[in-house]
Structure 1
Amino acid sequence: MHILPRKTKATAKKGIHLASFLGRLIWLSVLPLIVLSLWLAVDALRSRQAQDRRQAGIIAGNFATDLDQYLAARTGALQMLANSPLIDDEARWGELYREAQSFNGFFGSHVILAGVGQPMRMLFNTRRPFGRELPPLPVPKGRAAAPLAAATGKAVVGDLFTGPVSKTPLCSIAVPVVREGKARYVLLTILESSQLQQRIDQRLLPAGWAISLLDSQGHVIAQRNSPRHQEVRAVDRVEVPSTVAPWKVLVEIPAATYQPPLVKLAIMLALGLVASTLVGVLCGSLAARRVGRGVRSLVHWEPEATCGIVEIEEAHELLEHATAARRESEERQELFIRHAPAALAMFDAQMRYLHVSQRWLRDYGLEGDVVGRSHYEIFPEIPEHWRELHRRGLNGEVLRSEGDRFVRADGAAHWIKWEIRPWRKADGDIGGIVIFSEDITGLKQAQEEIQALNEDLEIRVEQRTAELKAANQELDAFAYAVSHDLRAPLRAMIGFSQALREDCAAQLSDEGLDYLLEISTAGYRMGELVDGLLVLSRSLRGTLERRPIDVSAVAERLVRELERAEPERQVQWQVEAGLEVSGDERMIEVVLTNLLSNAWKYSAGAEPARITVRSEKRDDKRFICVEDNGAGFDMRHSSRLFKPFQRLHRQDEFPGLGIGLATVQRIINRHGGAMEAEGEPGNGASFRFWLPN
C-alpha cells in the first residue's frame, strides 16, 4: 500500500477550508438551478411545439404519400387503356367501353373518352350506357385536366369542379391518347370528393387538430376538423404538396392545445424549484460535512484509520491495483509477443531486443534468450541498406515491403515480407522499433512455378489456336470441294433420269415413272443442299473489315428488292431511321438479307403483313431487331433455329434449306456479338442481334 505523506506546517498553504468552500458552492448552485429550471421550462414548451409540428408534418406527409399512390394507381391504369389498340378502331369502342367499366369496377371511378377539339365532346361515359348522347366535357375554372393533358401530351390531375351529369363535386385525372406524337383523344377518370373525404376521415388526428386537402386554387376538396375549429386561431400550419397532383395537404394546430400543458408546466416548475432548493441546501450541507471528513482522511491517511467513505478507501486500493495492473500488462505484452503466430520483435533505440516471438526465433534459427542482446551482434552479416532502414524507422518512418531477397551468411537465399514501425514512450519520444517479418520463400517458389506453368499454357493455347485455325480452313476447303465435286454427278443423275423418262416412258410402268420422278426430285433437292453448303462455307471467308454501316439504308434497299420480286404482295414496312452498327459491310448485308427474307416469307399468310426494323436497348446494349407478324415458332424448339439444315416448318408450307439463320449466327459470332430470337406460333417472330463497337 502506498502511503501519502502528511502535510507539515512547512508544506501547508493558505486557503479556504473545504467545509466553507462546499457551503458556498451549495448556495451558489441555487441560482443556476433556478435559471436552468426557467430555461428548461421554455425549452420544454418549444420542444412540445417542435414535436407537434414534426407530428403534423408526418401526418401531412403520410396522407400526401397515400394520396400520390391513390392517384398514381389510377393514372397508370388509364395509361394502359390509352395504349390499348381498341381505341384506334372506332368500331371496337364498345369493347373499350367494357374495359373502362372494369376499371370502374376495380377503382370505383367512372371513365370518360373525349375528343380533343373545342369544345371537347364526350365520346362515352361509363356513368351512362354506351352510345347515349352526352354533353360536351365541362371546362372548370383553374386547372382543367383534359385540355391540359391534350396540350402537353402528359397525364394531368385537375382541380375541383361540378360534374354536368352527376351534379356533384368532382376531380378528374386525364391521360392523353398519343398516336404519332399527337394527342388524338383524352381518357379521364372521375374522382368524387366524397371518395377523398372517406380517405381523410380514416386518418388518426390528435384532439383539436384539422387536416384539409386543397387544389391548386386553394379550394377545399376534403376536410376534417373539430366542430369549433373555425372559432379558434391556428398557431401552426404545415403544408405538404402532392408529387402527382397540384394539390397540397394542410394540417393546422390550434392555440388551445398548448394552454393546458403550459399551465401544468408552470405549476410543476414552481413546486419543483421550492422543493429542490430546500432539499439541495439540506442534503448539500450533510454531504459537505461527510465529504470534508473523507478528504481530510485521504490527505492524512493511515493504514489503521477508516473514513467511512468507500470511494476514498477504494482510491487507495486503486493506486496499488494500478501498479499491479501495469506489471501484469507488461507480462501480457511479453506473453502476446512471444506466442504471436508471426515473426515479431521489439527493439530499443540501440537495436537491442526487448521482446521477441517464438516464430521469430524459429524462422531465423535463433536459440536461447536473445532479450538484451544487439540485433547486429546476432546477425553481423546484415547489409548496410538494412541498417539504413532501421535508422529510418528510428527516425519515425513506417516502412514495409511485400518481398525482399536476403542472402544469409551461409549463402542461403530467402525472400522476406516485412514491416518496420516505430514505437513511442510516454513522453512522445521514439523508444525503438517493432519489426514484423514473414519468410515467403516458399510462396515465391510457388509463384515462379505458376508463372512457368502459365507461360507453358500460353504456348499450348497458341499451338491449339493455330491447329484449330488450320482445321477450320481445311473444313472450309473440304466443304467447297464437296459442293463443287458433287455438282457433276448430280447433273448426270438428273439428266439421265429425265432422258430415261422422255425416251423410255412407253416401256416403263407408272410405278417406274414415279420412281424416276422421285430420283429427279431428290437430285434437285441434293443440288439445293450442296448450294446451301457452299453458301455456308463462303459466309465467313475473307478478312473481317469493320466500318460504320448505315443499317437503315441497307434494310430499305433490301425491302425494295423484295417488293420488286413479288409486286403483288401487300406488306406494311417500318424501318427506323438512323440505325448504325460497326462491322464488315458484306457480311452484315448477308445478315440483313437472310433476316428480311425470312420475315417476308413467313409473314405471307398474315393479313395485313407487317415487318419492322428497329433498335432496342437491353442491358446497356443496342440491338437491331427484325420483327414480323407471320407464322412464328414454338420457343421450346428455339435451340434448332441456328443449326444448319434444321427447320421448324414443313417444306410444303415454307420452302427453304435451313441455312439462313445458321449463316447469320456464324457472322454475328465472328463479329463478337450476340443473336437472340423470340416467337409465338401464329403471332410472329422477332430476331435481334448486337455487335460491339
Structure 2
Amino acid sequence: MWPDGSVHWIGGRWQLFMNEAGEPSRVVGANIDVTERKLAENALLEVNRTLKTQAALLQSREELLKIFVKNVPAGVAMFDRDMRYLQVSDRWCADYSVDSSQVLGRTQYDVFPDLPQRWREMHRRGLEGETLGVDEDRWDRGDGTTAWVHWEIRPWRTDSGDIGGILIFAEDITHRKMMENALAEISRKLIQSQEQERTRIGRELHDDINQRLAMLAIELEQLQDNPSELHKRVQELRQHTIEISGDVQALSHELHSSKLEYLGVVAGIRSWCKEFGEHQGMEINFKTDAAAPIPLETGLTLFRILQEALHNAVEHSGVERVDVQLSEHLNEIRLTISDAGKGFDVAAARQGRGLGLASMEERVRLVNGTISIVSSPMGGTSIRIRVPRKSDRNAERAAG
C-alpha cells in the first residue's frame, strides 16, 4: 500500500551468501514494482474467463469481441485468417508505439517486418486451432534493440464455428528482464569480489605469515645445535614473533574490526588507518569533523568501502600517501578517499574483474547512499560517498 492509498505489487529477487562455516551470513537482492505486470496478468485471466464463459455469445457476435478487445486493459490484438488487424487494445498501441488507425486492415508482418520466423509458425498453429503461450520470449528488433515479451495465442471462431482468426495477448517485459539481468550481474560481481578478497587473504597467509612461521621454526630448531647463542637469539626470535603476531592481528582486523565496536566508528576508523599505513609503509592522512556518533551499521558500511579503496590504492596507484576525510553535512555522512596516483579508466574497470567497484557501489546502494568515482590514467583517484542518516536501518545488510 503506497502513501497515496494505491495498491502495488512487489516482486523480489534475492541471493543468500554463506560464510566459511556454511551458515547464512548476508542476503543481497532487490525489489521490483511489478504492479503493471500483475494488472496485465489479471486482465489476461479475465479475458480467458470471458472467452470461456461467453464463448457461444462471442462466436455469434464478432463485433462484441472487437469491442471487448478494444477496451481490455492489456496488450491484445485481434486478427483474421490472413493475419490482418481487426482490432487492437489501447495498451497494445501504447506498448508498441502504434496507432490503431495505422494498423487496422494491415497484416502483422507489414506492421512488424522484423518478427521472428518462429512467431510466424506460432501464428500458423494458432490459426489451426491451437492455444499457445510463452512466459518469456526474446525479440531481436530490426533496429538492433532487444525486447522481451510474454505472449499467448488463442483462436476465435465465427458464427458457423469455423476459426475466424486469432487473438494475441502480449506483455512487454523488457524492463523486468533488464532489472533481473542487472541484479544477476551485481550478484556475479559480488561473488567475484568476495573470492578475490579470499584469494588475497589466503595469499598473505601463505606467502607471508606461513613462510615467516616456517623460518621461525627453523631458527628455533637451530638453537639446539648452538646453545651458546641461546640468550642472544631468543631476543631476536621474540621480536620476530611479535612482528608476526602484529601482522596476524592486522589481517584479522581486515575481516572484523572490533575497534569500531569498542572505540566508536570515528576512532576505530582512525586507528585502522594508522595501522594499515604502518603495515603498508604509506601515509594515510585521516581527517574528520564528525561530532555526533555515527551508528555502527553505517560505520561498518563505510569501513568496508574504505578497506576496498585503500587496498586498491596500495595495489594499483603507486602512491605513498592517501587522504581520507570523514565528515557530516546536515543529515548526511560523507566519506572521501583521494590520492594523486596512477588512476584508472572507470568505465573499463566496471566491465573488468578487478578493483571491487561493484562491491562498493552495491554497499552504498543498500544504504540509500550515493557514490562518485572520478579517476583517469595518471590523473589520480577520488571516491566520494554520501549516506543519509535515515538509512541507518538498512546499513546492516551492506556491512556484512
**Normalising TM by the smaller chain, what interval?**
0.3 to 0.5
TM-score (norm 2): 0.34
TM-score (ref. length: structure 1)? 0.21
Higher RCO (CA < 8 A, seq sep 6+): 2
